[in-house]
Amino acid sequence: MEQPTFLGHVYYKTRTGDLEYTAAVLEWIKKNKGRWLLDLIVSYQENPEIQAMPVQQWELHVSQGSAILICTDDFATRNIVEHHIPYTDHPEPERILIVEDKVICFPAERPYDA
């Protein structure tokens, strides 16, 4: 099966090589020192419930120096993962990343069938 083309369609491999990510995500990582977030997402890929999801929506919510990373089901009706992060200096209050076809991207980069 051919991998769909994401906007920008330049891919970089995560440290483990399990997932790839787009050029826009790479720029965001550099700007916000966010590699730890990718590592955390990769660490959950062995979870059978996560593996069964065709699209994973990962939401980082930061408040007062701590954060929570949530992975929701396809309809954002149920949290599959809730990972509490006791300390972070991440500058953004919220960030959403999508994992689809083993590529981490921003929601606006997702490929859509014409």
What are the structure tokens assigned to 91, written together?
Answer: 């500058």
pLDDT tens over the chain, length 114 residues: 344 444 555 566 666 667 888 989 999 988 998 889 999 999 999 899 999 999 999 999 999 999 999 999 766 778 999 999 999 999 999 999 999 988 999 998 887 643
Q: How far apart (Å, rounded) are the C-alpha atoms in residues 16 and 85?
A: 22
Where does residue 56 rank: exposed (0-12), middle (13-18), buried (19+ CB within 10 A)?
A: buried
Q: Which residue type, as a one-letter code, is found at position 86? A: P
- The whole-model pTM stands at 0.84
Q: What are φ and ψ of residue 75, in 5° steps?
A: -105, 10
What domains can you pick out in the chain, each with its CATH number? Answer: 11-107 (3.10.450)
Q: Identify the sign of the CA torsion 86, 89, 93, 97.
A: negative
